[in-house]
Amino acid sequence: MCSRFDGGALSAETRVISVSDRGWLPAARGVLRDGGLVAFPTDTVYGVGGSATEADVVESIFLAKARPEDKSIPVLLAGWPEVEGVALPGQGVQHLAAAFWPGALTIVMERDPRLPAAIGSAGTVGVRAPNNAVALALLRAAGPLATSSANLSGDSNPTTAAEVLKSLGGRIELLIDGGQTPGGRPSTVVDCTGDVPRLLRPGPVTLQAILAVWERAGPASSGTQPGFTKR
């Protein structure tokens, strides 16, 4: 693939294709199949993604974004069936996905051993199904994608294709222009690796709503009280 770094030089030529072009999906599938990176709109900001199952592709996201290696990369997918091979969900997690996916809830689960350790060093993975038609079409066609915001680390999160191109032009193979994204608050992040959900990052989905679904589902609990954990 061409978005590799050789002594600091960039060799990628970023192609921009509009979602009004009927060829956008085949083009994106081809780039991803060849191990390249694709930027695309989501229900919050633009993301840049690549195959979640290939270690070198995941590593190339860190390189393209100049992202610190101690920060994990979440995985976007089309829906609950795609969790297999990505994460090892505990009891009750499927009920949260049914209630809030597609949408603004990232669920942290134990990472499936088949997923590259390059995703993150903690043995866990954050997983979400975005509520955006373009993103979902891409994820259905290409499978789960390791995805981070489509910007250099430290830059503002991009809500337009022009902002993505300004930040990552020459660092990724393809940019899908789907117009302006809503921006706004990032997704809620909840850790479901224990007996009860722990809120890691507040967002549009409240802890109260999460716990209401969790309690209705009746998952096993050790009696630990739910809480808020900063990370």
8 Å CB contact between 126 and 72: yes
pTM for this predicted structure: 0.89
Give the pLDDT band (50/70/90) at residue 166: very high
Report the candidate in 150, 218, 220, 209 with the shortest Cα–Cα distance to residue 183: 150
Query: Which tens digits make up the pLDDT trace of 118-137?
Result: 998 789 999 999 999 999 99
Ranges of each domain in the chain? 13-216
Region at 154 (left for phi over 0; alpha for psi -120 to 50; beta for the rest): left
Q: Which CATH superfamily is domain 13-216 in?
A: DHBP synthase (3.90.870.10)
Mean pLDDT of 45-52: 97
With a CB cutoff of 8 Å and minimum separation 6, the contacts of 20 are: none
**pLDDT (0 to 100) of residue 31:** 97
Query: Which tens digits make up the pLDDT trace of 95-106?
Result: 999 999 999 999
